[in-house]
Amino acid sequence: MKSTQLMDEQPWSRPWWQYSEGNGPALFYIVSIHALALTGLILYPLPGLWVLALALAVASIGGVGTSVCYHRCLSHRSLRLNAVVENLLIFFAIFNAAGGPMSWVANHRHHHAKADTVEDVSSPRYGGFWWAHIRWIYQWSGSEVRRWCPDLDKRRYRVWTRLQIPIIAFSIFGGLFFGWEAFFWLGAIRLVYVLHFQMFVNSLLHMTPGLPEGEDSSRNLWWLGPFQLGAWGENWHRNHHSDANAARFGRRWWQIDIGWYVIRGLKALRLASDIKPTKDILRMEARRATDTRASEITEDSPLLERCGQDA
Ligand SMILES: [Zn+2]
Ligand SMILES: [Zn+2]
Protein backbone atom coordinates (compact mmCIF):
# COMPACT_ATOMS: atom_id res chain seq x y z
CA MET A 1 0.00 0.00 0.00
CA LYS A 2 1.35 3.43 -0.91
CA SER A 3 2.13 5.64 2.08
CA THR A 4 -0.18 8.49 0.88
CA GLN A 5 -3.06 6.01 0.57
CA LEU A 6 -2.33 4.73 4.06
CA MET A 7 -2.34 8.31 5.36
CA ASP A 8 -5.75 8.97 3.82
CA GLU A 9 -7.24 5.81 5.25
CA GLN A 10 -5.46 6.14 8.58
CA PRO A 11 -4.79 9.86 8.90
CA TRP A 12 -3.39 9.40 12.41
CA SER A 13 -0.34 7.77 10.83
CA ARG A 14 0.73 11.23 9.59
CA PRO A 15 3.19 13.20 11.71
CA TRP A 16 1.22 15.43 14.12
CA TRP A 17 2.10 18.70 12.37
CA GLN A 18 0.93 17.58 8.94
CA TYR A 19 -2.52 19.08 8.39
CA SER A 20 -4.96 17.73 5.81
CA GLU A 21 -5.86 19.71 2.70
CA GLY A 22 -7.49 23.04 3.54
CA ASN A 23 -6.94 22.63 7.29
CA GLY A 24 -3.80 24.77 7.59
CA PRO A 25 -5.81 27.64 9.17
CA ALA A 26 -7.18 25.24 11.82
CA LEU A 27 -3.66 24.23 12.90
CA PHE A 28 -2.52 27.87 12.78
CA TYR A 29 -5.49 28.81 14.99
CA ILE A 30 -4.75 26.07 17.56
CA VAL A 31 -1.05 26.95 17.81
CA SER A 32 -1.78 30.72 17.96
CA ILE A 33 -4.36 30.59 20.74
CA HIS A 34 -2.13 28.33 22.82
CA ALA A 35 0.84 30.73 22.39
CA LEU A 36 -1.38 33.73 23.21
CA ALA A 37 -2.95 31.99 26.21
CA LEU A 38 0.47 31.09 27.59
CA THR A 39 1.66 34.69 27.19
CA GLY A 40 -1.53 35.90 28.89
CA LEU A 41 -1.09 33.51 31.81
CA ILE A 42 2.48 34.76 32.35
CA LEU A 43 1.54 38.46 32.12
CA TYR A 44 -1.84 38.31 33.91
CA PRO A 45 -1.93 35.11 35.97
CA LEU A 46 -4.78 36.36 38.17
CA PRO A 47 -7.63 38.06 36.31
CA GLY A 48 -9.94 40.63 37.86
CA LEU A 49 -13.27 39.28 39.03
CA TRP A 50 -15.42 40.87 36.33
CA VAL A 51 -13.08 39.72 33.52
CA LEU A 52 -13.20 36.18 34.85
CA ALA A 53 -16.99 36.31 35.29
CA LEU A 54 -17.48 37.63 31.76
CA ALA A 55 -15.14 34.99 30.28
CA LEU A 56 -17.03 32.21 32.13
CA ALA A 57 -20.41 33.62 31.05
CA VAL A 58 -19.43 33.81 27.37
CA ALA A 59 -17.88 30.33 27.52
CA SER A 60 -21.06 28.97 29.15
CA ILE A 61 -23.43 30.42 26.55
CA GLY A 62 -21.16 29.00 23.84
CA GLY A 63 -21.31 25.63 25.63
CA VAL A 64 -25.11 25.74 25.53
CA GLY A 65 -24.84 26.67 21.84
CA THR A 66 -22.80 23.55 21.13
CA SER A 67 -24.71 21.17 23.38
CA VAL A 68 -28.32 22.27 22.78
CA CYS A 69 -28.17 23.68 19.27
CA TYR A 70 -25.34 21.89 17.40
CA HIS A 71 -25.58 18.58 19.22
CA ARG A 72 -29.16 17.91 20.31
CA CYS A 73 -31.09 20.06 17.86
CA LEU A 74 -29.14 20.08 14.58
CA SER A 75 -27.23 16.77 14.75
CA HIS A 76 -29.82 14.50 16.37
CA ARG A 77 -33.03 16.45 15.72
CA SER A 78 -34.02 15.79 19.34
CA LEU A 79 -35.90 19.08 19.46
CA ARG A 80 -36.83 22.07 17.37
CA LEU A 81 -35.68 25.56 18.29
CA ASN A 82 -37.21 28.92 17.56
CA ALA A 83 -35.24 30.39 14.60
CA VAL A 84 -33.99 33.43 16.54
CA VAL A 85 -32.79 31.26 19.45
CA GLU A 86 -31.18 28.82 17.02
CA ASN A 87 -29.23 31.58 15.27
CA LEU A 88 -28.15 33.18 18.55
CA LEU A 89 -26.88 29.83 19.81
CA ILE A 90 -25.03 29.18 16.54
CA PHE A 91 -23.34 32.59 16.93
CA PHE A 92 -22.16 31.78 20.46
CA ALA A 93 -21.04 28.27 19.48
CA ILE A 94 -18.84 29.80 16.75
CA PHE A 95 -17.70 32.46 19.23
CA ASN A 96 -16.43 29.52 21.31
CA ALA A 97 -14.67 28.24 18.17
CA ALA A 98 -16.83 25.14 17.77
CA GLY A 99 -16.80 25.70 13.99
CA GLY A 100 -19.71 26.20 11.62
CA PRO A 101 -22.91 24.14 12.08
CA MET A 102 -22.56 22.15 8.83
CA SER A 103 -19.08 20.77 9.45
CA TRP A 104 -19.88 20.12 13.14
CA VAL A 105 -23.01 18.14 12.33
CA ALA A 106 -21.38 16.20 9.47
CA ASN A 107 -18.44 15.14 11.67
CA HIS A 108 -20.73 14.31 14.57
CA ARG A 109 -23.23 12.17 12.66
CA HIS A 110 -20.27 10.39 11.06
CA HIS A 111 -18.84 9.78 14.55
CA HIS A 112 -22.09 8.15 15.75
CA ALA A 113 -22.51 6.06 12.60
CA LYS A 114 -18.96 4.68 12.74
CA ALA A 115 -18.18 4.89 16.46
CA ASP A 116 -15.49 2.45 17.59
CA THR A 117 -14.59 1.37 14.08
CA VAL A 118 -11.54 2.35 12.05
CA GLU A 119 -13.77 4.81 10.13
CA ASP A 120 -14.64 6.82 13.25
CA VAL A 121 -13.71 10.50 12.94
CA SER A 122 -12.04 10.71 16.32
CA SER A 123 -11.47 7.22 17.68
CA PRO A 124 -8.88 7.06 20.47
CA ARG A 125 -8.81 3.27 20.02
CA TYR A 126 -7.21 3.58 16.60
CA GLY A 127 -5.65 7.04 16.63
CA GLY A 128 -4.69 7.30 20.30
CA PHE A 129 -5.49 10.03 22.84
CA TRP A 130 -4.02 13.02 20.99
CA TRP A 131 -5.68 12.06 17.73
CA ALA A 132 -9.08 11.87 19.42
CA HIS A 133 -8.45 14.98 21.49
CA ILE A 134 -7.14 17.49 19.00
CA ARG A 135 -5.29 16.14 15.96
CA TRP A 136 -8.45 15.07 14.13
CA ILE A 137 -9.56 18.72 14.00
CA TYR A 138 -6.83 19.62 11.51
CA GLN A 139 -5.79 16.19 10.21
CA TRP A 140 -9.19 14.72 9.40
CA SER A 141 -10.25 15.64 5.88
CA GLY A 142 -13.74 16.52 7.15
CA SER A 143 -16.91 14.47 6.82
CA GLU A 144 -18.87 15.24 3.69
CA VAL A 145 -21.84 17.54 4.16
CA ARG A 146 -23.60 16.03 1.14
CA ARG A 147 -23.42 12.57 2.67
CA TRP A 148 -23.96 13.30 6.37
CA CYS A 149 -26.17 16.35 6.57
CA PRO A 150 -27.83 17.26 3.27
CA ASP A 151 -30.69 18.61 5.41
CA LEU A 152 -28.38 21.40 6.58
CA ASP A 153 -27.09 22.31 3.13
CA LYS A 154 -29.17 25.49 3.09
CA ARG A 155 -28.38 29.17 2.77
CA ARG A 156 -29.23 29.89 6.39
CA TYR A 157 -26.53 27.46 7.57
CA ARG A 158 -24.04 28.10 4.75
CA VAL A 159 -23.91 31.78 5.69
CA TRP A 160 -22.37 30.82 9.06
CA THR A 161 -19.48 29.06 7.30
CA ARG A 162 -18.62 32.40 5.67
CA LEU A 163 -19.09 34.35 8.91
CA GLN A 164 -16.85 32.00 10.86
CA ILE A 165 -13.54 33.82 10.37
CA PRO A 166 -14.80 37.33 11.25
CA ILE A 167 -16.59 35.92 14.33
CA ILE A 168 -13.44 34.10 15.50
CA ALA A 169 -11.35 37.23 14.90
CA PHE A 170 -13.83 39.17 17.05
CA SER A 171 -13.75 36.39 19.63
CA ILE A 172 -9.94 36.54 19.90
CA PHE A 173 -9.44 40.32 19.70
CA GLY A 174 -12.75 41.72 21.06
CA GLY A 175 -11.43 41.83 24.64
CA LEU A 176 -8.93 44.52 23.57
CA PHE A 177 -11.74 47.07 23.99
CA PHE A 178 -11.37 46.50 27.73
CA GLY A 179 -7.56 46.40 27.87
CA TRP A 180 -4.81 43.76 27.69
CA GLU A 181 -5.92 41.64 30.61
CA ALA A 182 -9.38 41.28 29.06
CA PHE A 183 -7.78 40.62 25.67
CA PHE A 184 -6.01 37.53 26.98
CA TRP A 185 -8.70 36.24 29.33
CA LEU A 186 -11.79 36.88 27.20
CA GLY A 187 -9.93 35.74 24.08
CA ALA A 188 -7.19 33.11 23.94
CA ILE A 189 -7.35 31.79 27.52
CA ARG A 190 -11.14 31.25 27.29
CA LEU A 191 -10.76 29.66 23.85
CA VAL A 192 -8.02 27.25 24.95
CA TYR A 193 -10.09 26.30 27.98
CA VAL A 194 -13.29 25.54 26.07
CA LEU A 195 -11.37 23.77 23.30
CA HIS A 196 -9.90 21.21 25.69
CA PHE A 197 -13.00 20.68 27.81
CA GLN A 198 -15.12 20.11 24.72
CA MET A 199 -12.54 17.83 23.15
CA PHE A 200 -12.46 15.59 26.23
CA VAL A 201 -15.82 14.30 24.97
CA ASN A 202 -14.06 12.78 21.95
CA SER A 203 -10.95 11.62 23.78
CA LEU A 204 -11.52 10.83 27.49
CA LEU A 205 -15.19 9.92 27.10
CA HIS A 206 -14.29 7.24 24.54
CA MET A 207 -11.49 5.71 26.57
CA THR A 208 -12.92 2.97 28.74
CA PRO A 209 -9.96 0.99 30.08
CA GLY A 210 -9.70 -2.74 29.37
CA LEU A 211 -12.50 -2.85 26.82
CA PRO A 212 -12.48 -5.65 24.22
CA GLU A 213 -12.46 -4.52 20.59
CA GLY A 214 -15.86 -3.84 19.05
CA GLU A 215 -17.53 -2.82 22.33
CA ASP A 216 -19.08 0.61 22.84
CA SER A 217 -16.27 2.71 24.30
CA SER A 218 -18.39 5.70 25.39
CA ARG A 219 -18.58 6.44 29.09
CA ASN A 220 -20.04 8.81 31.68
CA LEU A 221 -17.53 10.83 33.69
CA TRP A 222 -19.16 12.83 36.48
CA TRP A 223 -16.22 15.08 37.36
CA LEU A 224 -15.82 16.41 33.83
CA GLY A 225 -19.27 18.07 33.94
CA PRO A 226 -18.60 21.18 36.08
CA PHE A 227 -15.54 22.04 33.99
CA GLN A 228 -17.67 22.00 30.84
CA LEU A 229 -19.67 24.99 32.10
CA GLY A 230 -22.73 25.45 29.83
CA ALA A 231 -21.98 22.14 28.10
CA TRP A 232 -22.29 20.28 31.44
CA GLY A 233 -24.40 17.27 30.50
CA GLU A 234 -22.15 16.27 27.60
CA ASN A 235 -20.15 14.33 30.20
CA TRP A 236 -22.98 11.71 30.30
CA HIS A 237 -21.69 10.44 26.99
CA ARG A 238 -22.55 6.79 27.48
CA ASN A 239 -26.14 7.73 28.23
CA HIS A 240 -26.12 9.68 25.00
CA HIS A 241 -24.60 6.96 22.81
CA SER A 242 -27.08 4.42 24.15
CA ASP A 243 -30.07 6.66 23.31
CA ALA A 244 -28.85 9.21 20.78
CA ASN A 245 -32.27 10.57 19.80
CA ALA A 246 -33.24 11.65 23.31
CA ALA A 247 -32.94 15.35 24.10
CA ARG A 248 -32.01 14.62 27.71
CA PHE A 249 -28.50 13.33 28.46
CA GLY A 250 -28.85 12.90 32.23
CA ARG A 251 -30.83 9.81 33.33
CA ARG A 252 -30.95 10.26 37.11
CA TRP A 253 -31.89 13.35 39.09
CA TRP A 254 -28.28 13.78 40.23
CA GLN A 255 -26.88 13.64 36.69
CA ILE A 256 -26.75 17.38 36.11
CA ASP A 257 -27.53 18.29 32.51
CA ILE A 258 -27.52 22.05 31.91
CA GLY A 259 -28.59 21.61 28.27
CA TRP A 260 -31.71 19.76 29.40
CA TYR A 261 -32.62 22.49 31.91
CA VAL A 262 -32.18 25.09 29.16
CA ILE A 263 -34.45 23.04 26.87
CA ARG A 264 -37.10 22.85 29.63
CA GLY A 265 -36.87 26.61 30.09
CA LEU A 266 -37.11 27.26 26.36
CA LYS A 267 -40.09 24.92 26.15
CA ALA A 268 -41.87 26.85 28.93
CA LEU A 269 -41.27 30.02 26.90
CA ARG A 270 -42.55 28.25 23.77
CA LEU A 271 -39.13 28.62 22.12
CA ALA A 272 -38.46 24.86 21.88
CA SER A 273 -40.78 22.10 20.67
CA ASP A 274 -40.87 18.48 19.42
CA ILE A 275 -38.64 17.36 22.29
CA LYS A 276 -37.77 13.68 21.91
CA PRO A 277 -38.11 11.67 25.15
CA THR A 278 -35.71 8.98 26.35
CA LYS A 279 -36.35 5.30 25.51
CA ASP A 280 -37.28 4.74 29.17
CA ILE A 281 -40.05 7.34 28.99
CA LEU A 282 -41.26 5.90 25.66
CA ARG A 283 -41.36 2.38 27.14
CA MET A 284 -43.24 3.66 30.19
CA GLU A 285 -45.78 5.45 27.98
CA ALA A 286 -46.22 2.32 25.85
CA ARG A 287 -46.80 0.21 28.99
CA ARG A 288 -49.29 2.72 30.33
CA ALA A 289 -51.15 2.77 27.00
CA THR A 290 -51.30 -1.06 26.98
CA ASP A 291 -52.57 -1.11 30.58
CA THR A 292 -55.24 1.45 29.72
CA ARG A 293 -56.37 -0.57 26.70
CA ALA A 294 -56.43 -3.75 28.76
CA SER A 295 -58.55 -2.12 31.48
CA GLU A 296 -60.94 -0.85 28.82
CA ILE A 297 -61.56 -4.41 27.67
CA THR A 298 -63.65 -5.40 30.65
CA GLU A 299 -65.23 -8.78 31.05
CA ASP A 300 -68.51 -7.64 29.59
CA SER A 301 -66.91 -5.92 26.62
CA PRO A 302 -68.17 -7.17 23.24
CA LEU A 303 -64.63 -8.20 22.24
CA LEU A 304 -64.24 -10.61 25.19
CA GLU A 305 -67.76 -11.91 24.70
CA ARG A 306 -66.90 -12.71 21.14
CA CYS A 307 -63.59 -14.32 22.17
CA GLY A 308 -65.45 -16.44 24.72
CA GLN A 309 -68.00 -17.56 22.14
CA ASP A 310 -65.27 -18.43 19.67
CA ALA A 311 -63.57 -20.57 22.30
ZN1 LIG B 1 -24.34 12.86 19.56
ZN1 LIG C 1 -19.09 9.77 21.11
Q: What is the pLDDT along the chain (311 residues), one digit of tens a residue?
A: 444 444 567 889 899 999 999 999 999 999 999 999 999 999 999 999 999 999 999 999 999 999 999 999 999 999 999 999 999 999 999 999 999 999 999 999 999 999 988 889 998 988 999 999 999 999 998 899 999 999 999 999 999 999 999 999 999 999 999 999 999 999 999 999 999 999 999 999 999 877 877 789 999 999 999 999 999 999 999 999 999 999 999 999 999 999 999 999 999 999 999 999 999 889 998 898 888 878 776 555 555 444 444 43
C-alpha 47/C-alpha 151 separation (Å) is 43
Question: Are the CB atoms for 123 and 117 separated by under 8 Å?
Answer: yes
**Ligand closest to CA 76:** 1
Q: Rg of the Cα trace of the chain? A: 23
Q: Distance from the CA of 137 to the center of ligand 1, in angstroms?
A: 17
| Cα separation, 264 vs 66, whole angstroms | 17
Q: Report the separation in Å between the CA atom of 120 and the middle of ligand 2, taken as the mean of its atom positions.
A: 10
Nearest ligand (C-alpha, residue 67)? 1
106 C-alpha vs ligand 1 centroid, how far in Å? 11
Q: How far apart are alpha carbons 224 and 145 in whole angstroms?
A: 30
Cα-to-centroid distance, 115 and ligand 2 (Å): 7
